[in-house]
Structure 1
Amino acid sequence: MRKEAADRPFFVASAALFVVLVFLAFAQRYYLGWLFRSPHLSLFLQVHGAIMSGWVLMFIVQTGLVETGHVRMHRKLGTVGAGWAALVVTIGTMATLHASIRELRAHTDIAPLQVTITGLELVEMLLFAGFVASAVWLRRRGDYHKRLMLLTLVCMLPSVLPRLPLGLFQSLLSILLAVYVALMLCIAIDTLRHRRLHPAFAFGGATYVLVMQLAFFGMQTPAWHGFLTRLLS
């Protein structure tokens, strides 16, 4: 129990930082669009934004419930969270496929890049689903559960970083490297605090990096581009 309590500031801080990044990334286009007079979003994109935002909100609420000792409420809300995760995967997949369809049918210059991005985002959705499913399965093992849930935020980072102000992360490689740095930083902090590498981070982190590296090269091949182009055109 003492170890669980000692972990709380780390997970609360990680969740809070992610919330700040999400707000900064989508403030101008979504959260404060009315203030910046941004172009009106379609109903689908508004629903997409609401579902993704709902996951982030639920994550910070769940973290706060554990922090304040409301574990029973945390577990009850977890049932809703599992269903919400399914919505995240479904709407996320629809959104990335819709983006590729739009660019391919319009024959835009960025269509090839969008096809690559779509492949990477589909892989991220699979990883997200895998981490959530593993976290639910290991919900009785709090040390595993919370680390696997934190990895779901890592899966969402590639969609957040390129939308941050100043445009620091624009190339696929820079985005992927930044995500790896964030992942390794979380694992390093956790490992130093506990003086051991937790199996959830060891397996989950290695799986994420390996799968995303394979996807990074695989989704840029003519085979993938030809397949998705024929499928969506």
Structure 2
Amino acid sequence: MATAVMTPRKAKTQPDRVFFPLICLTILVTVWLGFSKTYYAAGMVKAHLPAPIIHVHAAIMTLWLLTLTVQTSLVSVRKVKLHMTVGLWGFALAASMIPIGTLAAINSLRRDLSPPGSGLSSLTFFVVPVTGLLLFGTLAAWSYSVRRKPDQHKRLIILATVPLLDAAVGRFPQTLGIASNPMVQLLLLCIFPAALMVHDLISRRKIQRVSWVGTLILLVVWLTRIPLAQTAAWQAFARMVHG
């Protein structure tokens, strides 16, 4: 009887075919939990959102998550050429998310929006969506630059998506009826990059460089953005944008 021998390359990629669809599913569940009451279960286009730009922002973010899921599934079933074709649409979508997300953030600022119980003014909270978009854009661009290196590319796409979960996780208290705790919300976000690094250790016996560098970038921004937003310079900038 012939025995099939798994090459080192196949042995390494086999766990990826389970992990990446699973983490995408977890991302979808996270977003659903955060926005089910106010958007998805409310009928999406029929949801009572405060402004048209928020509708556009919600729709394009949903498209990104669906594209991410489709792309991950295509790789898992070895449809790599189709994955690369759809990827062109995906990066065009990612590019459009930056200006649309910025307009949505400005709209929220001008409505003096800040999370209940956060203790942050709308001027200070404005740093959260702004830095989230900067993180997404930076990591997505990095992912595009290494698109011919699948191991790096797919890890960076996941890390780029994590900052977009800020708003969903921030709405958990409202959806689940629990007290708001910014530190708990930060720890929940950290689960995703932590899971990626654990997966690296299990499947590769070491943490991939893009995984730990990307995670470090996320942590540095997350831990410094509120102190930054409380400076006079940021307050003046946010006040100018507010108008």
Q: TM-score, normalised by structure 1?
A: 0.88
Cα displacement (A) at 1:34: 4.3
1:187–1:201 Cα contact (<8 Å) kept: yes
Give how far 1:30 is off. Answer: 1.1
How far the C-alpha of 1:112 sits from its partner, in A, is 5.2
Q: Which residue of 2 aligns with 1:191?
A: 201
For the pair 1:156 / 2:164, whether they are aligned, the reply is yes
Instruction: Give the C-alpha shift of residue 40 in structure 1.
Output: 5.2
Q: Is the CA contact 1:11–1:63 (under 8 Å) kept in the aligned structure 2?
A: yes
Alignment map for 1:133-172 (pairs within 5 Å):
133-164=141-172, 165-168=175-178, 170-172=180-182
How far the C-alpha of 1:146 sits from its partner, in A, is 0.4
Contact 2:193 2:211 in 1 (8 A): no
Out of 137, 146, 167, which is 1:129 matched to? 137
State yes or no: 1:200 paired with 2:206: no
Matched, 1:84 2:100: no
Conserved in 2, the CA contact under 8 Å of 1:62 and 1:74? yes
When residues 167 and 148 of structure 1 are mapped into structure 2, their CA distance, relative to the original with a 3 A threshold, is farther
Question: Unaligned regions of 5+ residues in structure 1, if any?
Answer: none
2:179 is aligned with 1:173? no
Distance in 2 separating the partners of 1:194 and 1:179: 23
> Which moved further from structure 2: 41-50 or 88-97?
41-50
Aligned to 1:42: 51
Match of 1:103 in 2: 112
Question: Do the aligned partners of residues 196 and 44 (structure 1) sit closer, same or farther apart at CA in structure 2, a change above 3 Å counting?
Answer: same
**Contact 1:169–1:175 (CA under 8 A) maintained in structure 2:** no
CA distance in 2, matches of 1:159, 1:215: 15
Q: Which has the higher helix share?
A: 1
The answer to whether residue 22 in structure 2 is matched with residue 13 in structure 1 is yes
CA displacement 1:2-21 (0-9 Å, x = unmatched): 12232110001000111111
Q: Distance in 2 between matches of 1:127 and 1:198?
A: 19
CA offsets per residue over residues 130-175 of structure 1, 9 Å max, x none?
A: 1111111101100000000010221112111022321457343332
Residue aligning to 2:6: none
Q: Does 1:214 align with 2:236?
A: no
Larger gyration radius, structure 1 or structure 2: 2
* 2:155/2:196 contact within 8 Å kept: no
> Who is 2:72 aligned against?
63
1:223 maps to which of 226, 233, 242: 233
Please report the TM-score for the alignment, with normalisation by the length of structure 2.
0.85
Which residue of structure 1 lines up, in the alignment, with residue 60 of structure 2? 51
Task: Give a deviation string over 1:78-101, Cα, whole Å, max 9, x none.
Answer: 111111001111111111111111
Residue 153 of structure 1 aligns with an amino acid whose one-letter code is: T
Q: Please tell me the root mean square deviation across aligned C-alpha atoms, in Å.
A: 2.4
CA shift for structure 1 position 53: 0.2
- Relative to structure 1, the CA distance from residue 193 to residue 43 in structure 2 (aligned partners, 3 Å threshold; closer, same or farther) is same
Per-residue deviation, 1:38 = 5.9
The 3 A distance-change label for structure 1 pair 65 and 95 is same
Deviates more, 1:189-198 or 1:178-187: 178-187
The residue number in structure 1 matching 2:3 is none
CA shift, 1:224, in A, is 1.4
Pairwise CA distance, 1:181 = 3.7
Give how far 1:221 is off: 2.6
| Residues in 1 aligned to 2:226 and 2:120: alpha-carbon distance in whole angstroms | 14
Query: 1:231: how far off?
Result: 3.3
- Assess if the C-alpha contact under 8 Å between 2:159 and 2:214 holds in 1: yes
